[in-house]
Amino acid sequence: MSDIEETRLAVIVGGGGAIAQALAALWCKDPTLRVVVVSRASPPMPNVQSLLTDYSEASLLAIASTLADLQMPMSRLVITNGVLSGDAFSPERKISDLNVTAFQHVLAVNALLPLQVLSAFWSLIRHGAAPRVAVLSARVGSVSDNRLGGWYSYRASKAALNMMLKNAAIEAQRINRQAKFIAYHPGTVDSPLSQPFQRSVPKEKLFTPEFTALQLTEVLNTAVADGELSYVDWAGETIAW
Ligand SMILES: NC(=O)c1ccc[n+]([C@@H]2O[C@H](COP(=O)([O-])OP(=O)(O)OC[C@H]3O[C@@H](n4cnc5c(N)ncnc54)[C@H](OP(=O)(O)O)[C@@H]3O)[C@@H](O)[C@H]2O)c1
State the Cα angle at 79 between 110 and 49, rounded to 5°. Answer: 135
Ligand 1 midpoint to CA 98 (Å): 21
**Contact partners, residue 36, CB within 8 Å, separation at least 6:** 9, 10, 11, 12, 48, 49, 50, 51, 67
In the three-class reduction of DSSP (H, G, I as helix; E, B as strand; rest coil), residue 9 is classed as: strand
Shortest-distance Cα residue to atom 47 of ligand 1:
82
Q: What is the pLDDT of residue 5?
A: 52
The residues with which 37 forms a beta bridge, in sequence order, are 12, 50
d(CA 241, CA 125): 25
User: Would the CB of 153 count as within 6 Å of ligand 1?
Assistant: no
User: Would the CB of 189 count as within 6 Å of ligand 1?
Assistant: yes
Q: Which ligand 1 atom is the nearest neighbour of the CA of 86?
A: 28
d(CA 53, CA 81): 13
Q: What is the pLDDT of residue 1?
A: 44
User: Would the CB of 193 count as within 6 Å of ligand 1?
Assistant: yes
The residues with which 188 forms a beta bridge, in sequence order, are 206
- Ranges of beta strands (E only) in the chain are 8-13, 33-39, 48-52, 74-79, 132-136, 180-185, 188-189, 206-207, 229-233
What are the residue boundaries of the structural domains of the chain, listed by start?
3-233
Half-sphere exposure of 49 (CA within 13 A, CB side): 12
Q: What is the pLDDT of residue 42?
A: 84
Element (DSSP H or E) covering residue 195: none
Compute, in degrees rounded to 10, the torsion defined by CA atoms 188, 191, 196, 199. Answer: 50
User: Would the CB of 141 count as within 6 Å of ligand 1?
Assistant: no
Ligand 1 midpoint to CA 233 (Å): 17
User: Would the CB of 17 count as within 6 Å of ligand 1?
Assistant: yes
Q: Is the dihedral of CA 100, 136, 129, 23 positive or negative?
A: positive
Q: What is the pLDDT of residue 4?
A: 46
Q: What tens-digit pLDDT sequence spans the chain (241 residues)? A: 444 458 999 999 999 999 999 999 999 999 999 999 999 998 899 999 999 999 999 999 999 999 999 999 999 999 999 999 999 999 999 999 999 999 999 999 999 999 999 999 999 999 999 999 999 999 999 999 999 999 999 999 999 999 999 999 999 999 999 999 999 999 999 999 999 999 999 999 999 999 999 999 999 999 999 999 999 999 999 999 9
- The conformation of residue 101, written as its DSSP 8-state character, comes to H
232: phi then psi, degrees, rounded to nearest 5:
-130, 160
Q: How far apart are the first and last CA of the chain?
A: 42
Cβ atoms of 121 and 73 closer than 8 Å: no
Q: Per CATH, is 3-233 categorized as 2.60.120.260? A: no
Burial of 222 (C-beta count, 10 Å sphere; 0-12/13-18/19+): exposed
Q: Which ligand 1 atom is the nearest neighbour of the CA of 55?
A: 33
The residues with which 52 forms a beta bridge, in sequence order, are 39
Mutate to test the pocket of ligand 1, among 19, 37, 162, 205 (most ligand atoms within 8 A of CB): 19
- The conformation of residue 237, written as its DSSP 8-state character, comes to P
